[in-house]
């Protein structure tokens, strides 16, 4: 199956994860695609393809280079809770001409080149976009499709040198739990790459240190006509809490190595309000400072009102993988070499986010990240080109070939 067809098939599955559900996987619908991946792998000859009770899919492409290390290729198949993934209707614009793209005429949703300058890089290629109502799912079904297609092509070409390749597909990466139940020892890879980044050529071994914050504000409801000196409006207190956080430390005001505190959701009324945040920074101590700021804001408000209105629950998610990768830098050197050999310009950058690979690196599986070709993830403007999908398949096969000839 061509990688384009495989990708278009996978995005038709609604695999949105749910950060409020602690089950594994967090949504049963993710398992529909997981089982389809197992079926496809077995059909292409991967006899040990399986999905475990937590939704983690694994399988093995046998190698023909006995001295090569076992290499893992990993992607996640869930999509972000940020926008619905139900009834995704992708459109392929063949030979994109560089003009603005009307995604949804009825709703007046237009993808403008003036706002999305990266579209200029897609001119002449076959561009896959949404209908404006959903995300696309390139994060990370592009990675899944590329790995599956590379595996199929390696199996079909027994003369092409490669070591044993372990495939791994995880649920719930988008809610920070993709690696929670990943059995690194059973997976059996010496090294791995996640395929979960942006444009083709991205190569990342630095990522944010990450935490979440759930803030609950408890108010006191009184009829508004009789509320003086008695009502405590939880939503107003929540707004007060938010106003105490650093105004410039937000995603829309930061770049590069700068961290942020991002308000993801705000729900509430008079009696109770809830705020959900993610905290990110490449520097571990700066992340700790952001956590201290959150706690201090809650303590200040509780002191001001003379009672505990605000509770702040902080949970660490993952850490910067850099210190785990530096002693295995062949992973970066070999990926860069593979890119150059297939005509891709390497772009080594820090991730302004995280991947399963960050967690896995601390679990004993060094695991930097490769781009998928997708851009503008988690929203209706998400897009990817067919040629990017194809180039990444070629890249994965070249990395496997390099490790067959030059063990890590």
Q: What are phi and psi of 311, to 5 degrees?
A: -120, 140
* Annotated catalytic residue 173: yes
| Residue 196 is labelled as binding a ligand | yes
Count of all residues that appear for the chain in the document: 408
Residue 247 class from Cβ within 10 Å (0-12 exposed, 13-18 middle, 19+ buried)?
A: exposed
Distance separating the N- and C-terminal Cα atoms of the chain: 31
- pLDDT at position 369: 96
Active-site hit among 173, 202, 204, 356: 173
Tell me what pLDDT residue 242 has: 98
Q: Say if residue 262 carries a ligand binding annotation.
A: no
Q: Could you give the angle at the alpha carbon of 186 between the alpha carbons of 180 and 190, nearest 5°?
A: 95
**pLDDT for the residue 218:** 97
pLDDT, tens digit only, all 408 positions of the chain: 999 999 999 999 999 999 889 999 999 999 999 999 999 999 999 999 999 999 999 999 999 998 999 999 999 999 999 999 999 999 999 999 999 999 999 999 999 999 999 999 999 999 999 999 999 999 999 999 999 999 999 999 989 999 999 999 999 999 989 999 999 999 999 999 999 999 999 999 999 999 999 999 999 999 899 989 899 999 999 999 999 999 999 999 999 999 999 999 999 999 999 999 999 999 999 999 999 999 999 999 999 999 999 999 999 988 899 989 999 999 999 999 999 999 999 999 998 887 899 999 999 999 999 999 999 999 999 999 999 999 999 999 999 999 998 656
In sequence order, what DSSP letters do the residues of 74-129 get, joined into one string?
Answer: EEE--B-TTS--TT---EEETT--SS-EEEETTTTEEE-TTT-GGGGGGTTS-EEE
**Would you list the domain boundaries of the chain?**
3-207+320-405, 210-318
The single-letter DSSP state of residue 40 is: H
CATH number of 3-207+320-405: 3.40.630.10
Q: From the candidates 14, 19, 40, 78, which is the catalytic residue? A: 78
Was 76 annotated as part of a binding site? yes
Known catalytic membership, residue 267: no
Neighbours of 290 (CB within 10 A): 22
139 marked as part of a ligand binding site: yes
Contacts of 60 (CB under 8 A, 6+ apart): 46, 48, 164, 165, 166, 167
CATH of domain 210-318: 3.30.70.360
Residues 268 and 235: beta-carbon distance below 8 Å: yes
Per DSSP, the residues of 262-291 read: EEEEEEE-SSEEEEEEEEEESSHHHHHHHH
Look at residue 363 in the predicted model and tell me its pLDDT. Answer: 96
Residue 48, sorted as left (phi over 0), alpha (psi -120 to 50) or beta, turns out to be alpha
pTM of the model: 0.87
Q: Is 283 assigned a ligand-binding role in the annotation?
A: no
For residues 325 and 166, give the distance between their C-alpha atoms in angstroms, rounded to a whole number.
19
Where are the strands (E) in 108-259, listed by range?
109-111, 127-129, 165-170, 191-197, 202-204, 209-218
């Amino acid at each position: 199956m061509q990688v384009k067809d495989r990708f278009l098939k996978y995005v038709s599955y609604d695999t949105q994860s749910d950060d409020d559900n602690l089950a594994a996987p967090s949504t049963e619908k993710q398992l529909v695609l997981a089982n389809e991946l197992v079926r496809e792998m077995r059909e292409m000859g991967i006899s040990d393809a399986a999905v475990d009770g937590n939704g983690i899919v694994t399988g093995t492409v046998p190698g023909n280079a006995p001295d090569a290390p076992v290499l893992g290729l990993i992607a996640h198949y869930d999509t972000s809770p940020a926008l619905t993934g139900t009834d995704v209707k992708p459109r392929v614009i063949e030979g994109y001409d560089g003009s603005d793209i009307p995604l949804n005429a009825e709703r007046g949703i237009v993808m403008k080149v003036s706002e999305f300058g990266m579209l200029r890089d897609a001119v002449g290629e076959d561009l896959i976009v949404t209908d404006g109502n959903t995300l696309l799912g390139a994060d990370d079904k592009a990675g899944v499709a590329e790995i599956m297609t590379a595996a199929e092509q390696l199996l079909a070409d027994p003369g092409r040198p490669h070591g044993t390749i372990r495939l791994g597909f995880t649920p719930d990466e988008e809610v920070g739990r993709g690696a929670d139940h990943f059995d690194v020892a059973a997976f059996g890879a010496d090294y791995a790459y996640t395929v979960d980044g942006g444009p083709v050529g991205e190569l990342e071994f630095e990522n944010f240190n990450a935490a979440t914050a759930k803030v609950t504000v408890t108010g006191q409801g009184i009829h508004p006509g009789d509320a003086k000196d008695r009502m405590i409006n939880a939503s107003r207190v929540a707004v007060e809490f938010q106003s105490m956080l650093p105004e410039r430390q937000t995603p829309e005001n930061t770049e590069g190595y700068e961290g942020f505190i991002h308000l993801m959701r705000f729900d509430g009324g008079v009696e109770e309000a809830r705020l959900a945040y993610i905290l990110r920074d490449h520097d571990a101590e700066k992340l700790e400072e952001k956590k201290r700021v959150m706690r201090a804001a809650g303590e200040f408000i509780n002191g001001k009102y003379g009672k505990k209105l605000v509770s702040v629950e902080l949970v660490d998610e993952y850490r910067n993988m850099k210190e785990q990768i530096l002693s295995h830098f062949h992973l970066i050197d070999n990926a860069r070499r593979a890119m150059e050999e297939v005509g891709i310009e390497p772009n080594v950058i820090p991730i302004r986010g995280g991947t399963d690979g960050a967690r896995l690196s601390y679990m004993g599986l060094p695991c930097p990240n490769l781009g998928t070709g997708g851009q503008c993830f988690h929203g209706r403007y998400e897009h990817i080109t067919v040629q990017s999908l194809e180039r990444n398949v070629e890249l994965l096969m070249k990395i496997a070939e390099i490790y067959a000839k030059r063990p890590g």
